[in-house]
Structure 1
Amino acid sequence: MGVLLRELELEGWRSHSGVGRLLGMLQGWQEKSWLWRWVPAMGGWLVGLVLVLAPFMPSGMIGMLLMAGAGLWLLWTLAGERQGRWSPIHLLVLSYWGIALLATVLSPVPRAAVVGLGKLSLYVLFFALAERVMRDERWRSRLLTVYLLTALGVSVEAIRQWLFGAEPLATWTDPESALANVTRVYSFLGNPNLLAGYLLPSVPLSAAAIAVWRGTLPRVLAVVMLGMNTASLILTFSRGGWLGLATATIVGVGLLGFWYLPQLPYRWRRWGVPLLLGLLVATLVGSVVSVPALRERAGSIFAARGDSSNNFRINVWMGVQQMIQARPWLGIGPGNVAFNQIYPLYQVNVRFTALSAYSIFLELLVEVGVIGFGVFLWLLLLVGDRAWQCLGQLRARNNPQGFWLMATVATMAGMLTHGLVDTIWFRPEVATLWWLMVAIVVSFVPQQENAAS
């Protein structure tokens, strides 16, 4: 069996497994209940409410919505999962959760790790519910529209802050820097780095909406969204956000080149995409170099310990490296509560504590060890493989849904790049979007799998 698990057959396991037999155990209720026909719509509304409220509401309220969604998914699964489909990606997500459970049991601070496991469980169930809802192409487009409209409202507030000023809620810029007095917008999220992470998916998805939406006014709205969201992300002056945006843009343009490759003249098929990517990179670099504030902020990325933010992160990474070496296989258990209890034992600079590892990859190694991190990388590999299979088939049919898929892949690449130097990925405003992107990819089905089901 290959590492991509393309030949893995889960339906046979379900029919012979004791756990598998539980799926569909409420099928009798489904056949008699008037409520059943509303379950898919209720799932869509719950996912939509999470997307609408995430940037505005406290984490506790978002958690309550996620719990409601988890309960609905459980009911949906027990009553009608025999009509559904499972994929190797579901298996990898479940495996990752299982490793996190084992890491919690063996954690040096198990009570703290239980809190993190609870949050992870809600995100995983949100993925499961969103994927189930978005198997319907109409719900996929509706939910992406809901997110884009919400992100536009967030961007409007960010632009207002840039124009009229905003009181910094924390010291986000080196006070000795030339940018010490520059406004870093944060909109309703209270943190410019978090805002950048939240808005990052909206840029590729807005660009995709230009191609997917029909009619002049919807496309004009998509263009406005693209401009507003891009400008707001840039004005956060989040260096990690900028790196994520650059990566998402390059990946997105590369995928667009792949999409239109068969339509290009033969002599352009070899050099057209590399030339376009080269032009894009030159434009990005030129834009940064030509604007002093952007040039100063981007240059600080390479200042190493010469920038206070860089210096702080380097110190955190040194302490985190010792944490990983102390518990390499299964880590300390999931969640920031466990991290906050263990990190002080290893921190390099005793004057400054840290709330996280400031890198999602290091954070995963700390929380679930090498084993969990390996499963996460395997999950990314399977998601990429599924996206590539489906994209080729959508291109062959000239299905505009392929633009949503390309935007999703570009978004995931951008979020992972941003995550190299920050851990806002674990905040509910961004974590729900990450799992939504995974759900979008899984909601597309390769033709051979679709025929089999």
Structure 2
Amino acid sequence: MEKNAKQVAGLFLAGLSTATVYLTFSRSAWLGLGIAILVGLLWARSQAALWKPLLVTLMTFALCSVGLPTGWQRGVYAAQGDKSVLNRLVSWSEFPTQLIRYPFGVTGEPADGINQDIRVGSVVNFYLDVGFQHGVLPFVLTLWLVGLLLRYVWRGGQQGSQAGIWGLGVIATAVCLVFMNPCWDLLASALWGGLWGMVSAMEVKPDATTRVHAD
């Protein structure tokens, strides 16, 4: 979105970050990248400057998939069935029942009072893990905060602001966390902290054109 040297640096970072997404071989990262690109393409219809970084992102991912030695192997593996996905879906389907049984979370229950068949470790879903481990109120609060953040991003993107462009990364992160457990993943926790830090900085900036709370 910038010009001259800033644009070159930004496009380089776009390509580098896309390559990093590929090299992690994380299906959640791939899905987050895909959703963010789709939203970006939607916004690019009215913001021509978005086409260049989005095309750089797509080309980098395609080159990594075809050009790197492990590219085809990774692609074939990702397209095949994986038991881990099925196991996660089974665990997620049990979430409503467990939330009703333990409305304050399993961390507050005595060890001998928790049934042995409950997966007290993680269901590998940040949002569900918050509810499963800590209860209904933290779960609802988390969903509300994430929804507020995504609403802010969507509004910024529609208005063509820098916050909206930055928000494509927020969308990708929110999707990735569907398959992550930041209870033990410090990176995901740091990402959320950084994203809310950006929102706070935009809120107090005197010349900010877009605010979370218009009043």
Same fold per TM (> 0.5)? yes
CA deviation map 1:174-194 (0-9, x unaligned) = xxxxxxxxxxxxxxxxxxxxx
Alignment-derived partner of residue 244 in structure 1: 32
* Counterpart Cα distance in 2 of 1:347 and 1:289: 44
Corresponding position: 1:376 with 2:142:
yes
8 Å CA contact retained: 1:408, 1:437: no
- Provide closer, same or farther for how the CA distance between residues 428 and 293 of structure 1 changes in structure 2, counting only shifts above 3 A: same
Question: Number of aligned pairs?
Answer: 198
- Provide closer, same or farther for how the CA distance between residues 230 and 388 of structure 1 changes in structure 2, counting only shifts above 3 A: closer
Corresponding position: 1:332 with 2:106:
yes
Aligned to 1:229, the other structure's residue is in SS state: helix
- Provide closer, same or farther for how the CA distance between residues 245 and 365 of structure 1 changes in structure 2, counting only shifts above 3 A: same
Give the aligned residue type for 2:117.
Q
- Provide closer, same or farther for how the CA distance between residues 442 and 321 of structure 1 changes in structure 2, counting only shifts above 3 A: same
Q: What does 1:259-338 correspond to in 2, within 5 Å?
A: 259-260=47-48, 292-300=72-80, 303=81, 307-314=82-89, 316-317=91-92, 320=95, 322-328=97-103, 330-333=104-107
Corresponding position: 1:226 with 2:1:
no
* Counterpart Cα distance in 2 of 1:380 and 1:311: 26
- Provide closer, same or farther for how the CA distance between residues 439 and 257 of structure 1 changes in structure 2, counting only shifts above 3 A: farther
Give the aligned residue type for 2:78.
A
Q: What does 1:59-78 correspond to in 2, within 5 Å?
A: none
8 Å CA contact retained: 2:36, 2:171: yes
Corresponding position: 1:417 with 2:175:
yes
8 Å CA contact retained: 1:358, 1:421: yes
* Counterpart Cα distance in 1 of 2:42 and 2:165: 11
- Provide closer, same or farther for how the CA distance between residues 414 and 443 of structure 1 changes in structure 2, counting only shifts above 3 A: same
Give the aligned residue type for 2:143.
L
Aligned to 1:444, the other structure's residue is in SS state: helix
- CA positional deviation for 1:248: 1.9
- CA positional deviation for 1:242: 0.9
- CA positional deviation for 1:440: 1.5
8 Å CA contact retained: 2:127, 2:177: yes
* Counterpart Cα distance in 1 of 2:188 and 2:97: 28
Corresponding position: 1:345 with 2:115:
yes
8 Å CA contact retained: 2:122, 2:181: yes
Give the aligned residue type for 1:409.
G
Give the aligned residue type for 2:73.
A
- Provide closer, same or farther for how the CA distance between residues 288 and 407 of structure 1 changes in structure 2, counting only shifts above 3 A: same
- CA positional deviation for 1:363: 0.8
**Cα-Cα RMSD:** 4.1
* Counterpart Cα distance in 1 of 2:14 and 2:113: 40
CA deviation map 1:284-312 (0-9, x unaligned) = 89x97996324322213xx2xxx243354
- Provide closer, same or farther for how the CA distance between residues 443 and 389 of structure 1 changes in structure 2, counting only shifts above 3 A: farther
* Counterpart Cα distance in 2 of 1:381 and 1:318: 22
* Counterpart Cα distance in 2 of 1:308 and 1:343: 30
* Counterpart Cα distance in 2 of 1:449 and 1:225: 27
Give the aligned residue type for 2:22.
I
- CA positional deviation for 1:410: 1.4
Q: What does 1:27-66 correspond to in 2, within 5 Å?
A: none
* Counterpart Cα distance in 2 of 1:308 and 1:380: 29
Give the aligned residue type for 1:433.
L
Structure whose CA Rg is larger: 1
8 Å CA contact retained: 2:124, 2:180: yes
- Provide closer, same or farther for how the CA distance between residues 343 and 240 of structure 1 changes in structure 2, counting only shifts above 3 A: farther
CA deviation map 1:221-259 (0-9, x unaligned) = 333332232112212211111111111222233233343
Give the aligned residue type for 2:170.
M
- Provide closer, same or farther for how the CA distance between residues 424 and 374 of structure 1 changes in structure 2, counting only shifts above 3 A: closer
* Counterpart Cα distance in 2 of 1:343 and 1:314: 25
Give the aligned residue type for 2:75.
R
Query: Structure 1: which 5+ residue stretches go unaligned?
Result: 1-210, 264-272, 396-401
Corresponding position: 1:444 with 2:214:
no
Alignment-derived partner of residue 14 in structure 1: none
Percent identity over the alignment is 20
Q: 1:430 is matched with which residue: 178, 188, 208?
A: 188
CA deviation map 1:258-282 (0-9, x unaligned) = 434xx9xxxxxxxxx9xxx9xx99x
Q: What does 1:74-223 correspond to in 2, within 5 Å?
A: 211-212=1-2, 215-216=4-5, 218-223=6-11
CA deviation map 1:328-373 (0-9, x unaligned) = 3x3335xxxx79x69973436xxxx774220112112213433333
